[in-house]
Amino acid sequence: MRIVITGGSGLIGRAVARDLGEAGYEVVLLTRNTSKVGPLPANTRAVQWDGRTAEGWGKLLDADTGILHLAGDPIAEGRWTEEKKKRIRDSRVVTGRAVLDAIRQAKSPPKLLLQGSAVGYYGDPGDEVLTESHPPGDDFLARVCVEWEASTVEAVSFGVRRPVLRTGIVLSPEGGALPKMSLPFRFLAGGPLGSGRQWFPWIHIADEVGAIRFLIERQDADGPFNLTAPEPLTNRDFSHALGRALSRPSFAPAPGFALRFLLGEMADALLHGQRAVPRRLLDLGYVFRYPEASTALRNLLG
């Protein structure tokens, strides 16, 4: 089976490509610049695309193809100016429409589309436990997630199975949040963000990849799935676990007002959180390799 990945040069896309290639899948990474992809895993090739249309790659789709749509400008890099917010939205929604156009144009539609999203879909409902049936929030990231998911919903009318990946904060030593969060601890200045009471919906990169492959291979997997560890923690408790894993103290909080002064609106993404749980994933029988933060962090930072 061929899997076409948008956003294939990102943290999750690279890890999924490596796993699927080693398992014998044919993997195609769509990228705006093939020269920046670097060494490719087994059974993987890169194809250039413009991020706006199906030109150059739509012909790859057939009845034995799946699409993993992960494309999106990183939300945690740079201050959220109006231009940055437009990039965050367009890099998800416009590319989603391009994926839908490719499905419309295919002689035989693909059997599968895994649509990227995030637990930011739920906004900030406080301590409420969030399963996949919870309604969306109304802040900036929630509205982006709603549009992101909606950009490809028409694919189901072509008979395409469409799991939606509402991913939490992916922990990996190779990039993303963990190296940035670990740095203050290494200088004995680590601690919770703001009050620390906000929820921290994390997932180990091995389980992010494992869950995606599980959803590819389970023919009855459809609709939204929270890709988060089954035991979410508050930011304070996660900070304590991170400090223990690094043998460093975790008593130096970053005040919310300081984060807002330094980061502007982006600080809300750090000071808010979601108590999301992977109910549908567990109901289907996925077994997490790292369900607890302490063992996950020891593995990642060991």
Q: Kindly report, residue by residue over 133-153, the tens digit of the pLDDT.
A: 999 999 999 999 999 999 999
Of 91, 275, 268, nearest to 194 by C-alpha is 268
The yes-or-no verdict on residue 209 having pLDDT over 80 is: yes
Domains of the chain (ranges, CATH numbers) = 2-168+204-228+275-287 (3.40.50.720)
**Residue 217, both tokens:** 């291979």
What is the percent of the chain with per-residue pLDDT over 70, rounded to a whole number? 93
**Residue 154, both tokens:** 């028409």
pTM for the model stands at 0.94
231 vs 228, higher pLDDT: 228
46 vs 253, higher pLDDT: 46
- Of 101-105, 194-198, 247-251, 273-277, where does mean pLDDT reach its minimum? 247-251
Read off the pLDDT band of 258 (50, 70, 90).
Answer: very low
The yes-or-no verdict on residue 172 having pLDDT over 90 is: yes
| Helices (H), ranges, the chain | 11-22, 82-105, 140-150, 177-186, 205-217, 235-245, 256-263, 267-271, 279-284, 293-301
Are 57 and 102 in contact, with CB atoms under 8 Å apart?
A: yes
First to last CA, the chain: 35
**Residue 162, both tokens:** 């469409």
Q: What is the mean pLDDT of residues 276-284?
A: 98
Q: What is the mean pLDDT of residues 255-264?
A: 51
Instruction: Please give the C-alpha separations between residue 249 and each of 227, 239, 243, in angstroms, as whole numbers.
Output: 29, 9, 5
Average predicted confidence (pLDDT) for the chain: 90
CA dihedral for 188, 193, 197, 201, sign (positive or negative): negative
Quote the pLDDT of residue 189. Answer: 72
Of 208, 217, 214, nearest to 290 by C-alpha is 208
The yes-or-no verdict on residue 257 having pLDDT over 80 is: no
In whole angstroms, give the CA distance from residue 260 to residue 158: 45
Read off the pLDDT band of 256 (50, 70, 90).
Answer: low
Quote the pLDDT of residue 269. Answer: 59
Q: What is the mean pLDDT of residues 9-38?
A: 90
**Residue 33, both tokens:** 């610049």
Q: What is the mean pLDDT of residues 27-34?
A: 88
How long, in residues, is the chain? 302
